[in-house]
Structures are given as structure tokens and as C-alpha cells.
Amino acid sequence: MRVFLIRHGFAYHNLAALKVGDIAYSNPMYKDAKLTPIGIDQAINAGNKLKFIYFNKIYSSPLIRCIQTCMLILSKNKYFNNTKTIFLDDKLLEEQGKHICNERKSKFELNQYLLEEYINKFDMTNVKSNYLFDKESINELKNRIDKFMYNLSKNCNENDNILIVTHYVWLFNYFEMITGIPYEFENTEIRVIHI
């Protein structure tokens, strides 16, 4: 299977961090930050690069910047339509408990946002109702990544194309786990792996 791994587009917490440093990530104003106009353009450009790829399954972190990135990518896809399910999964969240910008909305708030913004079909089976923004170690994050990738390999076919939209720290740690080398990821950078 081919897995297309993409980091979300440039979001408002990223912009604030350029101005004031990492302290922006702890500012409640940037909780579950949305994409900036630059991030929107980045996601559209990524979508243009992937417009002729048929995705058998689509996964996204339930943080708004990832959902927006995913939907903008899919808006350019020749094969995507509103009946296709998009799977939101807490296992794709950024490292938890460290920065407020990585705290997601409650499941109810998230559902309201999706209903207001999109007509697409979202599966929130793997979005916890009892979500707590607890401190998470890197080992706990790696276990979460490992569980997601294990489930992916069990639930997809060898010829499938899979789209995953997630976060920098998630991708950084995943590549360190599979290659021994931590890779840097730019916003909306696309990396394809074969599983």
C-alpha cells in the first residue's frame, strides 16, 4: 500500500511562533488553531499535486488545521466526492498536554464545526468522547503512532492509496521509528511510503 503522509498547512499558532517564539504555542488564543491564508494556499497546492490519485481511505487528525488541510487537498482531487468517508482519529493528534494549540475541541464541538463547515461524511469512531488533554511522553506518543499504523496495515489492502493528514511531531517521531532518522517536515510537505 502507498501511504501519503502530509503535515497540515501553516496555521495561526505557527505564524505567532515566528513573531514571539514558542510561547505562542501556550497561548489559549491559538487553541486548535485554524489555517492562515498561506496555509490555505499550501493545502490547495498540495491538492493540485495529488489531484489524480485515487485514495481508498482518508485519515486526518481531528484538529481543525488538519481537517481544513485535508478538505482543501480533497477539493482538488478528481476522484473525491462527498459520499467518501473521512476518518478522524485521535491517534493522529500532535503530542498531547504540552502546548495548548494541540488541544482539540470536544467531540460535540467538533461535530458542530463539521456540520457547519462541510457536507462530507466524517467517521468519528476513533475520536474519544471523554477526551482529556493530559501530558503525554514521547514513548506514549510513539505507542499511539504504532497502534495507528498497525491498525492501518490490518484494515487496508496492499494496492490501496491512503491519505493521512497529521502534525510535525507525529511525523518526526514516526520517521524516527521506521528509519532511525528523525525527518523534518515542512507545512503540507508530502512524503510517500510503501507498507
Q: What is the pLDDT of residues 20-33, one digit of tens each?
A: 988 889 999 999 99
Per-residue pLDDT at 66 exceeds 80: yes
Cα(8)–Cα(15) distance, integer angstroms: 13
CATH code of residue 54: 3.40.50.1240
Residue 19's domain comprises 2-194
Cβ neighbours of residue 21 under 8 Å, at least 6 residues apart?
none
82, pLDDT greater than 80: no
Structure confidence by residue, pLDDT tens digits, 135-150: 999 999 999 999 999 9
Does 186 have pLDDT greater than 90?
yes
Considering its fold, how many domains does the chain have in total? 1
Model-level pTM?
Answer: 0.96
Segment holding 165, helix H or strand E:
strand 161-166
Contact yes or no for 155/123 (Cβ under 8 A): no
Q: What is the mean pLDDT of residues 43-49?
A: 98
The pLDDT of residue 3:
98
Residues 98/61, Cβ–Cβ less than 8 Å: no
Query: Which one, of 140, 167, 128, lies nearest residue 32 by Cα?
Result: 167
